[in-house]
């Protein structure tokens, strides 16, 4: 069960910030054609500039489409919070009733109330995520290393080395433990089969693989930081407020509502993304 104050805090935290994105103005590169003919290294500069301008236009269009959705989410979750408090205000006096049956019924309803509204807020966010999934995939493609390299901004991210056989074995074991919990409902503070929150799932899975993790999501940026290109099964994606596990094939497993497989992403309700991490034994 989620305590009343924790339920209020969670609902407030799920309200997204307004979407304000300022994009760079593409520079005119028409005059570079002559220079490109002189400097061989810059021969692709006009094409790269055109690609950048096209990407900026694409992102601007996505932001314009997404902004109303963000505003609607904020309004809907704020309304859920108001409904939550209104319903709680009905049960609280009844919990103090001299009638034991009435007091017990009110206490039972009150105990389940925060979870009901937090669950409703997560469903609203999942609906928005589904509607924005195509645009999200487009943005992830633009931000991808291969696409960025097409701007001519340098080579690929250098790897610190291949994963060891031991690291791969631990990661596979952690992923297997996480996958065994697919479909488990989200429970705030949950750390065991039957109910998990995000960091509860990753802590449980890595414990099964013999590695202890910090309890809070934002503290699970432990072990070796890796690049997206280096990801192996079991690696963690850590946000300031959420954590998920890489499941291979461009997918992650996370304790949403319920534990589920999702496409690989670095966005999560406006939370700052800390990076990819490989827990060490």
- CB of 238 closer than 8 Å to CB of 231: no
Q: What is the pLDDT of residues 229-270, one digit of tens each?
A: 889 999 999 999 899 999 998 899 999 889 999 989 988 877
Query: Alpha-carbon distance 209 to 206, whole Å?
Result: 5
- pLDDT attached to residue 158: 41
Nearest to 262 by CA among 245, 238, 240, 280: 245
- CB of 190 closer than 8 Å to CB of 256: no
Query: Alpha-carbon distance 160 to 226, whole Å?
Result: 8
**Both tokens assigned to 219:** 């503290």
Q: Where are the domains of the chain?
A: 4-133, 163-278
How many distinct helices (H) and strands (E) make up the chain? 8, 8
Please state, in angstroms and as integers, the Cα–Cα distance from residue 247 to each residue in 87, 212, 228, following that order: 40, 19, 13
Output the CATH code of domain 163-278: 3.90.1720.10
Q: What is the pLDDT of residues 195-231, one digit of tens each?
A: 999 999 999 999 999 999 998 999 999 999 998 888 9
- CB of 131 closer than 8 Å to CB of 171: no
Under DSSP, the state recorded for 223 is S
**pTM of the entire structure?**
0.49
Q: Which residue has the tokens 């939550």?
A: 84
């Amino acid at each position: 069960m989620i305590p009343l104050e924790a339920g209020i805090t969670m609902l407030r935290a799920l309200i997204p910030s307004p979407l304000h994105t300022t994009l760079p103005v593409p520079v005119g590169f028409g005059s570079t054609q002559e220079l490109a003919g002189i400097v061989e290294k810059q021969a692709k500069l006009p094409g790269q500039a055109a690609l950048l301008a096209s990407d900026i236009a694409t992102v601007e269009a996505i932001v314009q489409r997404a902004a109303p959705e963000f505003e609607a989410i904020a309004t809907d979750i704020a309304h859920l919070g108001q409904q939550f408090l209104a319903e709680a205000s009905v049960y609280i006096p009844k919990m103090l009733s001299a009638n034991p049956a009435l007091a017990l019924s009110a206490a039972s309803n009150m105990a389940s109330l925060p979870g009901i509204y937090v669950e409703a807020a997560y469903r609203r966010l999942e609906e928005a995520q589904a509607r924005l999934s195509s645009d999200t995939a487009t943005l992830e493609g633009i931000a991808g290393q291969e696409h960025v390299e097409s701007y001519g901004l340098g080579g690929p991210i250098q790897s610190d080395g291949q994963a060891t056989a031991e690291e791969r074995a631990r990661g596979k074991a952690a992923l297997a433990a996480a996958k065994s919990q697919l479909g488990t409902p989200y429970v705030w503070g949950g750390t065991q089969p039957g109910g998990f929150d995000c960091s509860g799932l990753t802590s449980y899975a890595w414990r099964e693989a013999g590695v202890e993790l910090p309890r809070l999501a934002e503290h699970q940026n432990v072990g070796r930081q890796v690049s997206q290109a280096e990801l192996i099964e079991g690696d963690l994606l850590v946000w300031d407020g959420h954590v998920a596990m890489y499941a291979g094939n461009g997918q992650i497993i996370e304790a949403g509502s319920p534990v589920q497989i999702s496409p690989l992403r670095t966005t999560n309700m406006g939370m700052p993304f800390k990076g990819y991490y490989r827990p060490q034994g």
